[in-house]
Each structure stands twice: as C-alpha cells, then as structure tokens.
Amino acid sequence: MLRTPSGGTGSSGTAGAEGRLLSIGAVLNVLREEFPEVTISKIRFLEAEGLVEPQRTPSGYRKFSTADVERLGQVLRMQRDHYLPLKVIREQLDAPARSGPAQPGGAQGLAEDFAGEETAPPAQVRIGREELLAAAGATDGELAEWESYGLVAAHPDGGFDADSVAVARLVADLGRFGLEPRHLRAVKAAAEREAGLVEQVVAPLRRHRNPQTRAHAEATARELAGLSVRLHAALVRSALHLRER
C-alpha cells in the first residue's frame, strides 16, 4: 500500500485527492514506497514508451494525475511480478478501454509461475528479439550467450514467449551477482529432470481418448510443476540454513 503525499493511503497507488496533479519528484516519492529501485529516469523512460502520458505545464514541467500514478504502479508491478515486456503490458492495460474487462488467461498468465490454474495460457503470444532485450535489460551478445547454453530459445517463428522473458530477466539478475550462464547449466539440467518426472505422470492421461481426461492432464502438469518449483525453493533455503549453522 502506497502512502500519498498528504499522508493518506491508496490501495492502488493513488496520488492524493482526486484531480490533484503531482510533479515527477512527488510521483517518485509515492512509488518508492513499493518500488525502492524506481528512478526519475525510469519514469521518463516509461513515458517515452507510451505507458503514461502526463500533462505538461506551459513551461514544460510534467504533471501527473491520480490515474497516471496508478498506471505507473501497475506497470512496475507487472514488470516486477510477471516479467512482462512493455509492449505486452501496454496491450494488457489498454485492453479494458477497448473491449471491456480483461478475459481470463491473456499474456499475463504466461509469465505467472505454475500455480495449478485450470485455464491454460495462450501459447501464441510472442515478442521479438529487440523487445526481449529491452525487457531483460541485456545486450544482443548476452542473449546470444544465453542461447548458446540453452537457457533461452526462440520459437521457430523467431519469437519469444513470456517464459523466455522470465528466464532472461532472471539470468540477467543473477549475472549482476557474478553468476554466468555456464554456472546455470546445472539449474537447467535439474529443471529438465523435474519436467521429465512430470511427463512420466501425465503421459498416460495425455494419450487417453477422452478429451476431458487430456485436459485434466494439462492441469495436472501445471499443478505438479508448481509443487516442484516450491519444493526446489524449499530445498535451497534448507541447504543454505544448514550451511549457516
């Protein structure tokens, strides 16, 4: 929950009283309560990318409305929690204005961790190479190295799905701590082994003649994957705690 400059609170990052306009510095102070790493340069970049359109005074100063601050909060939250590229975020935020409330699934579902939801995410959502680089904050050389180690792979049509965006963002974040792609081969190998175990369980269901049973196989795969991810995280935490003793 973000605290407004006047001391109130807003559950979705409001900027104060309805109709009040804030300077970019005041907006920064509001957003930093939830997003400590945000900067004025980041806000200006999001404006340049068309994610927000603040008003301008005759002298050229930016003035942000309550809706602008709420939208910035949504953008930053979708980047942080779902690793979505800006193009997809813009489409998600603009969709309700074009066609009413967003429908279940959508691009956001692609980037969510497996949580056992019954609705399968639409695999057709793709972004281009330049968009992936922008989303991950990486260079083309870094992406090429990730591809060479099999950490990120384009689809046959040359596009990248949201899982690739999530992987690229995480690999980039780990790189800031000195972990290189070669260090992550063991992580990839472990993930492939876990995927193999899930496939062993759901393969008989996928071969079933009943369409409902085959649909249940996909839901089961997502639930098993989610449990596997949680187990992996718990085991890593446990191992680290043991080493601290």
Note the pLDDT tens digit of each residue in 75-95: 999 888 776 778 888 888 887
Higher pLDDT residue, 105 or 72? 72
Clarify whether residues 118 and 232 are in a common domain: yes
Domain boundaries, position 38: 2-82
Clarify whether residues 66 and 144 are in a common domain: no
Contact between residue 80 and residue 42 where contact means Cβ atoms under 8 Å apart: no
Residues 191-204: b if buried by 16+ CB within 10 A, e if exposed = beebeeebeeebee
**Domain boundary, last residue among 32, 66, 82:** 82
Clarify whether residues 210 and 123 are in a common domain: yes
User: Once rounded to an integer, what is the mean pLDDT over residues 7-30?
Assistant: 66
When mean pLDDT is compared across 81-85, 126-130, 164-168, 193-197, the lowest value belongs to 81-85
User: 103 lies in a domain?
Assistant: no
Clarify whether residues 228 and 188 are in a common domain: yes
User: 101 lies in a domain?
Assistant: no
pTM of the model: 0.50
For residue 67, pLDDT over 80 is answered with yes
User: 42 lies in a domain?
Assistant: yes
Q: How many domains does the chain have?
A: 2
Contact between residue 153 and residue 147 where contact means Cβ atoms under 8 Å apart: yes
Torsion sign over Cα 214, 216, 219, 225: negative
When mean pLDDT is compared across 58-67, 124-133, 196-205, the lowest value belongs to 124-133
**Domain boundary, last residue among 82, 101, 124:** 82
Distance in angstroms (rounded) separating the CA atoms of residues 168 and 146:
8
Torsion angle of C-alpha atoms 205, 210, 211, 217, degrees rounded to 10: -10
With H, G, I as helix, E, B as strand and everything else as coil, classify residue 153: coil
- pLDDT, position 13: 41
Residue type, 205: L
- pLDDT, position 6: 53
